[in-house]
């Protein structure tokens, strides 16, 4: 290959959609640091002398930071993705660095107040919302017809991040940290690594408009399958490594070799897929190249914009007609933010997320104390976290790919699949509630899988029901359900009941035995069943919408050739539409 040709190909790769997707996967693989809170939470509790309710309060603010991203969505509506990622990187580094200095006594005050620790972890965790908004939302807009698959992969890499961080931590700080040693250096790793990855891809993550064609969509799916195989191989290796590290005593060098294998599997095969896809684009046949870069347009169709169709009358839940600005368009069209927030569909989806996903989040955050109360060795806690991480990943990719297949082939509503996933979490909660010997390993698998599977289903449902125009904000609004659930179920229910049982036992702030979490997880089981009922109601309401072709408008390839866009419609001018012929 001539130097000029090689340079041109390198530029094409670095500026292409596939390298953008590759960078997004790497950002997501470093953006799930909030899921390993259970590993270092014990050291926060012992170092700062917190009760379980106080520790759960710290965990609640961690969840607030990770999930409340409406401000990130609003910033993304007005600014490019690189600015969103840069803000997130700064918040990640600053928040977790101050948390590390606080728990190591280097922040200028020996025992920082609880509110300050909560502030530090909220700021650090809030970087996840910025990373998700900057990378995930951009990918969904770049691959709109593959959004279920894309969301599954992106959220899958977030799920794997906990196990990846554990391997890197053991390699950097030695086996002592993974067993009974000091886990506080893990907070420092969580602070600098995700920030560094986001900064590395600041100029890569951006909106790239590509014409849609059946050829392009089929090629996309094959490429996503390649990324799926890469992630499956990585997950399989991590699972084997976890089992071996639990069974045998590894040295620091052996942990380092394992971490090097993880990084190689994460970086090299995915980049190979990028090169292959870009090489295929550069060697397209003339017909394929035309479909990819300059699709043939049909004769222009003139639409009289002076008389737009009147929206159907809409009523509130009280039966009164809504103001014109609140009347929603048909499902699947672009809702305004206000129209989406006041809709019954959003209310049902938000409620299901609060009570369905909130229970799994409570189990994940308390896994360290659950294991301790049931008599598991501390070394097993890292195993539980890694199992949750891997099955979290498997749940996300399985839900992303399978729900897309069920939707396209059988028109099965995505909320109905979500109801099945939430129902599957009930056995996991009951295993924790009754403390069956050895069952925490099974509970970790069930809860990790279901928590992961719910994420792409919820996010895809938001984009399908309310459109993509304000997806950045609506996606982040749905995320606020998790911290709300965390406060109710984690702090007020699980934390308070744990401290009450610890006080009854008279052992200070540590509780031992099945009773520590029995009542709280029976409550969580009950509200999860209620969430299933709510999700079934949403599936019933949207059954006719999902019975049709929800991606029809993307397949039609309709674009507006008027430079005025919405302004032309507002001014009553005629808008010329160019439509790509269907194949």
Residues 343 and 248 in one domain: no
CB proximity list for 79: less than 8 A, separation 6 or greater: none
pLDDT score recorded for residue 515? 93
- 247 and 365 in one domain? no
Name which of 226-240, 290-304, 547-561 the model is least confident about: 290-304
> Are residues 338 and 270 part of one domain?
no
Could you tell me if 394 and 274 lie in one domain?
no
pLDDT digits (tens, 9 = 90+) for 194-211: 999 999 999 899 988 776
Answer yes or no: is 134 within a domain: yes
Q: Which of 282, 314, 341 delimits the end of a domain? A: 282
The pLDDT of residue 303: 36
pLDDT at residue 570, rounded to an integer: 33
Distance of alpha carbon 572 from the chain centroid: 41
- Structural domain includes residue 293: no
Same domain flag for 269 and 203: yes
Question: pLDDT at position 294, please?
Answer: 37
Q: Answer yes or no: is pLDDT of 193 > 70.
A: yes
Indicate if the pLDDT at residue 443 is higher than 80: yes
- 380 is a domain residue: yes
User: Residue 560 domain-assigned?
Assistant: no
Q: Give residue 170's pLDDT band: very low, low, confident or very high (50, 70, 90).
A: confident
**Are 496 and 409 in the same domain?**
yes
Residue 117 has pLDDT above 80, yes or no: yes
Last residue of a domain, which of 249, 267, 282?
282
CA distance 243 to 253: 18
**CATH number for the domain harbouring residue 443:** 1.20.1250.20
Max avg pLDDT among 14-18, 79-83, 545-549: 79-83
Q: What is the pLDDT of residue 172?
A: 83
pLDDT of residue 299: 33
Q: Beta partners for 575? A: 303
d(CA 249, CA 178): 11
363 lies in which domain range? Answer: 331-549
Q: How confident is the model at residue 284 (pLDDT cuts 50, 70, 90)?
A: low
What CATH number should be reported for the domain holding residue 181? 1.20.1250
User: Could you tell me which residue, 407 or 290, shows the higher pLDDT?
Assistant: 407
The pLDDT-based confidence of 325 (bands split at 50, 70, 90) is low
* pLDDT at residue 264 greater than cutoff 50: yes
Do 276 and 337 share a structural domain? no
Q: Assess whether pLDDT exceeds 50 at residue 536.
A: yes
Q: Tell me what the mean pLDDT of segment 36-65 comes to.
A: 87
Q: Which of 22, 360, 341 is nearest to 201 (CA)?
A: 22
Highest averaged pLDDT of the listed ranges 22-36, 101-115, 253-267, 274-288: 253-267
CA angle in degrees (0–180, nearest 5) for 44-45-49: 115
Q: Are residues 337 and 472 in the same domain?
A: yes
pLDDT exceeds 60 at position 313: no
Look at residue 571 and tell me if it is in a domain: no
Residue ranges of alpha helices (H) inside 480-578 are 481-485, 496-505, 515-541, 543-547, 552-556, 566-570
Higher local confidence (pLDDT), 528 or 483:
528
Instruction: Report residue 442's pLDDT band, with 50, 70 and 90 as the boundaries.
Output: very high
Average pLDDT (299-324) is 44
Residue 421 has pLDDT above 50, yes or no: yes
Mean of pLDDT values over 15-22:
90
Q: Residue 100: pLDDT band by 50, 70, 90 thresholds?
A: very high
Name the most confidently modeled range: 315-324, 349-358, 530-539. Answer: 530-539
Predicted local distance difference test score (pLDDT) of residue 324:
53
pLDDT of residue 95: 94
Q: Helix (H, G, I), strand (E, B), or coil: what is residue 572?
A: coil
Statement to judge: residues 139 and 249 lie in one domain: yes
Q: Is the pLDDT of residue 240 over 70?
A: yes
Cα torsion 249, 251, 256, 258 to 10°: value is -30
Residues β-bridged to residue 578? 559
Integer-rounded Cα Rg, in Å, for the chain is 24
pLDDT of residue 267 exceeding 70: yes
Which residues are CB-contacts of 485 (< 8 A; sequence separation ≥ 6)?
353, 354, 355, 357, 358, 359, 361, 362
**Band (64; pLDDT cuts 50, 70, 90):** confident
* Selected residue with higher pLDDT from 141 and 174: 141
Do 346 and 353 form a contact (C-beta atoms < 8 A)? no
**Does residue 390 sit in the same domain as residue 510?**
yes
Kindly report which listed range (207-211, 287-291, 354-358) carries the lowest average pLDDT score.
Answer: 287-291
How far, in whole angstroms, is CA 75 from its chain's centroid?
A: 19
Backbone angles phi, psi at 310, to 5 degrees: -70, 135
Q: Are residues 273 and 339 in the same domain?
A: no
Please report the pLDDT score of residue 178 as a whole number. 43
> How much is the pLDDT for 310?
44
Higher pLDDT, 161 or 307: 161
Structural domains counted in the chain: 2
- Pick from 223, 248, 282: which residue ends a domain? 282
Query: Per-residue pLDDT for 583 more than 70?
Result: no
The predicted model gives 495-506 an average pLDDT of 89
Whether the Cβ atoms of residue 556 and residue 213 lie closer than 8 Å to each other? no
- Domain assignment present for 303: no
pLDDT category at 174 given cuts 50, 70, 90 is: low
What integer pLDDT is reported at residue 287 of this predicted model? 45
Q: Would the pLDDT of 258 be above 70?
A: yes
Taking residues 10-14, report their average pLDDT: 87
Does the structure show a pLDDT above 70 at 565? no
Question: Does residue 314 belong to any structural domain of this protein?
Answer: no
Give the lowest-confidence range in 138-142, 289-293, 362-366: 289-293
Pick the most confident of 145-149, 294-298, 365-369, 576-580: 365-369
Do 275 and 338 lie in one domain? The reply is: no
DSSP states of 276-341 as a string? HHHHHHHT--HHHHHHHHSPPPPPPEEE-TTSPPPPPP-B-TTSPBPPGGG---STTS---HHHHH
> pLDDT tier at 143 (50, 70, 90 boundaries)?
confident
Nearest to 165 by CA among 92, 231, 238: 238
- What per-residue confidence (pLDDT) applies to 63? 83
Task: Please check the confidence at residue 305 and state whether its pLDDT lies above 70.
Answer: no
- Is residue 269 assigned to a domain? yes
pLDDT, greater one: 485 or 265: 265
For the chain, what is the mean pLDDT? 81
Tell me the pLDDT tens digit for each residue of 375-412: 888 777 777 877 888 888 888 888 888 888 888 888 88
């Amino acid at each position: 290959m001539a130097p000029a040709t090689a340079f041109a190909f390198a530029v094409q790769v670095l500026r292409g959609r596939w390298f953008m997707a590759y960078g997004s996967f790497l950002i997501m693989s470093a953006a799930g640091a909030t899921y390993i809170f259970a590993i270092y939470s014990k050291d926060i509790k012992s170092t700062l002398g917190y009760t379980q309710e106080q520790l759960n309060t710290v965990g609640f603010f961690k969840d607030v930071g990770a999930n409340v991203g409406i401000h990130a969505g609003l910033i993304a509506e007005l600014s490019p993705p690189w600015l969103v990622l840069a803000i997130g990187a700064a918040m990640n580094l600053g928040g977790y660095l101050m948390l590390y200095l606080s728990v190591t006594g280097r922040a200028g005050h020996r025992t920082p107040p609880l509110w300050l620790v909560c502030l530090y972890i909220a700021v650090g965790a809030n970087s996840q919302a910025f990373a998700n908004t900057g990378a995930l939302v951009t990918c969904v807009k770049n691959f709109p017809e593959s959004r279920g698959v894309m969301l599954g992969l992106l959220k899958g890499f977030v799920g794997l991040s906990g196990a990846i961080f554990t391997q890197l931590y053991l390699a950097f700080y030695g086996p002592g940290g993974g067993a009974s040693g000091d886990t506080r250096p893990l907070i420092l790793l969580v602070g600098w690594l995700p920030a560094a990855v986001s900064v590395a891809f600041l100029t890569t993550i951006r909106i790239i408009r590509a014409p849609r064609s059946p050829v392009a969509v089929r090629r996309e799916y094959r490429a996503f399958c390649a990324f799926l195989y890469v992630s499956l191989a990585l997950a399989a290796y991590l699972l084997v490594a976890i089992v071996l590290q639990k069974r045998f005593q590894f040295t620091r060098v052996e942990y380092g070799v394992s971490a090097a294998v993880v990084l190689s599997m994460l970086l090299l095969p995915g980049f190979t897929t990028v090169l292959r896809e870009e090489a295929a684009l550069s060697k397209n046949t003339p017909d394929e190249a035309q479909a990819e870069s300059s699709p043939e347009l049909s004769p222009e169709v003139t639409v009289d914009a002076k008389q737009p169709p009147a929206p159907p009358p809409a009523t509130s839940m009280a039966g009164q007609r809504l103001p014109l600005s609140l009347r929603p368009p048909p499902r699947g069209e672009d809702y305004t933010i206000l129209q989406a927030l006041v809709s019954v569909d959003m209310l049902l989806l938000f409620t299901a997320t609060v009570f369905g996903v909130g229970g799994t989040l409570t189990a994940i955050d308390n896994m360290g104390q659950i294991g301790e109360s049931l008599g598991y060795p501390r070394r097993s806690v890292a195993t539980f976290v890694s199992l949750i991480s891997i099955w979290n990943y498997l749940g996300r990719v399985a839900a992303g790919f399978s729900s897309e297949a069920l939707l396209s082939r059988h028109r099965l509503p995505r909320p109905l699949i979500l109801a099945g996933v939430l129902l599957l979490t009930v056995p996991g909660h009951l295993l924790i509630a009754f403390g069956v010997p050895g069952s925490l390993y099974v509970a970790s698998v069930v809860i990790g899988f279901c928590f992961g599977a719910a994420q792409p289903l919820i996010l895809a449902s938001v984009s399908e029901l309310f459109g993509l125009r304000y997806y950045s904000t609506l996606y982040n609004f749905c995320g606020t359900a998790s911290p709300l659930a965390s406060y109710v179920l984690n702090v007020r229910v699980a934390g308070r009941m744990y401290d009450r049982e610890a006080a009854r036992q008279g052992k200070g702030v540590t509780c031992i035995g099945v009773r520590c979490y029995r009542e709280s997880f029976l409550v969580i089981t009950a509200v999860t069943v209620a969430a299933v009922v709510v999700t079934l109601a949403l599936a019933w309401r949207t059954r006719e919408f999902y019975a049709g072709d929800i991606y029809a408008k993307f397949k039609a390839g309709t674009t507006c050739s008027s430079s005025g866009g919405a302004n032309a419609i507002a001014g009553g001018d005629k808008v010329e539409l160019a439509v790509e012929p269907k194949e």
